[in-house]
């Protein structure tokens, strides 16, 4: 273990001259983050404006790769059968710490960076889950860790995983299935939110698919008896699934959208499609419910004399928590504290709160605090492909206040705050926390070993198998 115990003058490529004096790690991180701030903000601003959806993140991925290459990282692009996925590596022998960087946006949530609902002209998509900030913050954190490793001569490797299509496409699952995390000692990640916390938590496992029904077209008035409606099959399926909701375990979530319901009312639809998600805290419960869903789809096809086909699109495990890493992450976040709003940011928050209702009033001001750490492990009613990574390697994450407190994810309010300085302040806190956590782990290999031991205990009785099976990435699932 090496510390910054004396003055070091270091000329780093592609950045300014650093003076590393006798200082603690948190001060080093704060100074280095400031040096990389413009690069983080360029990534987040660019991705916010492009708002590319899953597996279409061509510009987003290229920009992140360019920045990392310019700072000496070796980048392998197009990994695991996904054109926008990449792995960027700096360093050599020693512990390997991976940082996850998401990049995809959501369809139909275009929004300007203002406190009133107003889409951007010519835009359909929006970063309503803050993955543009996720990308910028993770890349920035990796650059800081690289600076520290180089300045101190510490043995180790920092690795950035550019992970596409978290929003339904399960990009990380394919990377895990390809063994891209097999030699990683610890994986770190973060997510935008409306508060600051590094507690250990879990999520819901999830499986999704598109069910396509094909029937026979006919004139809906002149020859209805000649037709067989694919839309009838979709509606029959949905009706039966809605009755099934009464008979599922607690914490189950089932949602769907009809993605194609036909072309015109006077034509019996010969094609219709419905897109389903099923979630539950345990993967085996998801699989058991999925079998029931498939039987319902088959029954709907049988009853309407149509044909049905199913395309599995996504599938993720629940997050396997790691308290050892979470405690270290919490210590790092408390070293920097919460977020202070400027007068302009307070004005933005005051204007957007009425659209958020009571949750925003109850949460007012929570961006200025870091939540108290708890040994309890909550289960969030959401899903992420980080879950599959966490079953390969000890993993920890954090949540930073990139949105006005009380803002739900996947909302226009999240897009708005994520496109202005409020989002960037949360990104900076997240990047600082990730960087300091990685540095502390490099300094304390015993903590890494303790995290691995906890991982082994928690994962020992479960055999991981991707819920996606052996399918290839659904590169066109947003089409």
Assess whether 136 and 13 both reside in one domain. Answer: yes
Assess whether 276 and 421 both reside in one domain. Answer: no
Assess whether 106 and 157 both reside in one domain. Answer: yes
Sign of the dihedral through C-alpha 241, 245, 247, 253? positive
Assess whether 172 and 111 both reside in one domain. Answer: yes
Environment class of residue 190 by beta-carbon count within 10 Å: exposed (0-12), middle (13-18) or buried (19+)?
buried
Which residues are bridge partners to 89 per DSSP?
Answer: 74, 159
Q: Quote the Cα angle for 407-412-418, to 5°.
A: 70
- How far apart, in whole angstroms, are the C-alpha atoms of residue 287 and residue 308? 20
> 3-class SS at 367?
helix
Give the residue numbers spanning the domain of 291.
205-316
Element spanning 271, H or E: strand 271-280
| CA distance from start to end of the chain | 50
> What's the token pair of residue 212?
């396509």
Assess whether 405 and 339 both reside in one domain. Answer: yes
The residue from 291, 316, 341 where one domain ends is: 316
Assess whether 372 and 433 both reside in one domain. Answer: yes
- Per-block average pLDDT, block size 10, for the chain (479 residues)? 32 37 81 98 98 98 98 98 98 96 98 98 97 98 98 97 97 97 98 97 97 98 98 98 96 97 97 98 97 98 98 97 98 97 98 95 96 94 97 98 98 98 98 98 98 97 92 95
- How far apart, in whole angstroms, are the C-alpha atoms of residue 172 and residue 178? 10
Q: Are 177 and 80 in contact (CB under 8 A)?
A: yes
What pLDDT is attached to residue 377? 95
β-strand pairing of 253-260 with 271-280? antiparallel
Asked if residue 473 belongs to a domain, the reply is: no
Asked if residue 3 belongs to a domain, the reply is: no
Asked if residue 471 belongs to a domain, the reply is: no
What pLDDT is attached to residue 461? 86
Asked if residue 478 belongs to a domain, the reply is: no
Assess whether 361 and 281 both reside in one domain. Answer: no
Asked if residue 59 belongs to a domain, the reply is: yes
CATH number, domain containing residue 250: 3.30.70.360
β-strand pairing of 186-193 with 96-102? parallel
DSSP sequence for 384-410: -THHHHHTTS-EEEEEEE-S-TTPPSS
Q: Are 397 and 188 in contact (CB under 8 A)?
A: yes
Assess whether 79 and 152 both reside in one domain. Answer: yes
Please provide residue 54's backbone torsions phi and psi, each rounded to the nearest 5 degrees.
-50, 130
Asked if residue 182 belongs to a domain, the reply is: yes
The residue from 273, 298, 316 where one domain ends is: 316
Assess whether 345 and 301 both reside in one domain. Answer: no
271-280, strands of its sheet edge to edge: 253-260, 271-280, 205-214, 307-316
395-401, strands of its sheet edge to edge: 74-77, 86-91, 157-163, 96-102, 186-193, 395-401
Asked if residue 302 belongs to a domain, the reply is: yes
- How far apart, in whole angstroms, are the C-alpha atoms of residue 149 and residue 439? 8
Residues in the chain, total: 479
Assess whether 331 and 287 both reside in one domain. Answer: no
Q: Are 55 and 165 in contact (CB under 8 A)?
A: yes
Number of domains in the chain: 2
What pLDDT is attached to residue 11? 33
Assess whether 39 and 171 both reside in one domain. Answer: yes
Asked if residue 396 belongs to a domain, the reply is: yes
What pLDDT is attached to residue 23? 57
The residue from 288, 316, 344 where one domain ends is: 316
Count the alpha carbons within 13 Å of 98 in the hemisphere toward its beta carbon.
26
Residue with structure tokens 């180790």?
156
DSSP sequence for 64-106: HHHHHHHTT-EEEESGGG-TT-EEEEEE-SS-EEEEEEE--BB
CATH number, domain containing residue 370: 3.40.630.10
Assess whether 299 and 329 both reside in one domain. Answer: no
Among 42, 38, 142, 56, smallest CA distance to 103 is for 56
What pLDDT is attached to residue 7? 26
> What's the token pair of residue 316?
């993720």
């Amino acid at each position: 273990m090496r510390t910054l115990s004396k003055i070091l003058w270091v000329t780093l490529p592609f950045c300014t001259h650093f003076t590393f004096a006798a200082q603690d790690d948190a001060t080093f991180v704060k100074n280095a983050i400031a040096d990389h701030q413009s690069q983080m903000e360029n990534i987040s601003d660019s991705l916010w404006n492009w708002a590319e959806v899953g597996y279409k993140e061509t510009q987003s991925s290229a920009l992140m790769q360019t920045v990392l290459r310019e700072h000496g990282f070796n980048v392998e692009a197009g990994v695991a059968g996904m054109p926008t996925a990449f792995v960027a590596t700096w360093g050599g022998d020693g512990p390997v710490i991976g940082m996850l960087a998401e990049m995809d946006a959501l369809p139909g949530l275009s929004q300007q960076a203002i406190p009133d609902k107003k889409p951007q002209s010519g835009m359909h998509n929006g970063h309503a889950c803050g993955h543009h900030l996720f990308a910028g913050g993770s890349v920035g954190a990796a650059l800081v860790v690289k600076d520290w490793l180089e300045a101190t001569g510490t043995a180790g490797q920092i690795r950035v995983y550019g992970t596409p299509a978290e929003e339904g496409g399960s990009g990380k699952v394919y990377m895990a299935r390809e063994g891209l995390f097999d030699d990683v000692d610890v994986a770190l990640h973060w997510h935008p939110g409306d508060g600051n916390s590094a507690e250990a938590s879990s999520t819901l496992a999830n499986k999704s698919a598109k069910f396509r029904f094909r029937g026979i077209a006919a004139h809906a008035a002149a020859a209805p008896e000649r037709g067989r409606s694919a839309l009838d099959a979709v509606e029959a399926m949905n009706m039966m699934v809605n009755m099934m909701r009464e008979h599922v375990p607690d914490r189950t979530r089932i949602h769907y959208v009809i993605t194609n319901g036909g072309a015109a009312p006077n034509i019996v639809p010969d094609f219709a499609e419905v897109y389903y998600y099923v979630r539950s805290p345990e993967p085996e419960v998801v699989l058991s419910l999925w079998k029931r869903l498939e039987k319902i789809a088959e029954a709907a096809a049988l009853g309407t004399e149509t044909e049905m086909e199913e395309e599995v699109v996504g599938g993720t495990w629940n997050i396997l928590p790691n308290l050892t890493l979470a405690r270290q992450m919490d210590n790092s976040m408390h070293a920097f504290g919460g977020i202070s709003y400027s007068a302009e940011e307070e004005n933005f928050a005051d204007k957007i709160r009425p659209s958020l209702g009571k949750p925003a009033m109850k949460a007012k001001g929570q961006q200025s605090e870091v939540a108290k750490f708890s040994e309890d492990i909550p289960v969030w009613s959401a899903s992420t492909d980080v879950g599959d990574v966490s079953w390969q390697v000890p993993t920890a994450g954090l949540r930073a206040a990139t949105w006005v407190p009380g803002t739900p994810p996947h909302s226009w309010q999240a897009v708005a705050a994520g496109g202005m300085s409020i989002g960037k302040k949360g990104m900076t806190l997240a990047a600082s926390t990730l960087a300091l956590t990685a540095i502390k782990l490099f300094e304390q290999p015993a903590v890494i070993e303790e995290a691995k031991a906890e991982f082994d205990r928690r994962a020992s009785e479960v055999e991981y198998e991707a819920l996606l099976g052996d399918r290839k990435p659904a590169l066109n699932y947003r089409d």
